[in-house]
Amino acid sequence: MKLFKSGKSKSYGLINLGNIRITQKLTGLLIGLLIGFIIIGAAYYKVLDTQSQAAAVSNKMTEFENGIHEVQVDLLNARRSESE
């Protein structure tokens, strides 16, 4: 009595998965997962870097806006002192 079918194993592309041992399959899977985590980590780092750059630009814009506001207040005070 045969428990497994004998015959040709399935071949996917260039790799015949029937001839690969389970340890090699698991190693390949773990390497794939590791590469995936590295890619996700790199993307997360890029997001954090972009976010910090955006915060720096936002701070510069706020400082510039405050400077403009101070100039407007000074101009209004100058006009007021001229009219007196």
Share of the chain above pLDDT 90, in %: 68
Confidence band of 81 (pLDDT split at 50, 70, 90) = confident
User: Are 9 and 16 within 8 A, CB to CB?
Assistant: yes
Q: What six digits make up the tokens of 53?
A: 């750059």
Secondary structure class of 26 (helix, strand, coil): helix
Q: Average pLDDT for residues 72-82, to the nearest whole number?
A: 91
C-alpha 65/C-alpha 53 separation (Å) is: 18
Phi, psi dihedrals of residue 5, rounded to the nearest 5°: -75, 135
Give tens-digit pLDDT for 29-46.
999 999 999 999 999 999
C-alpha 20/C-alpha 28 separation (Å) is: 11
CA 6, 26, 2: angle at the middle one, nearest 5?
A: 20
pTM (predicted TM-score): 0.58
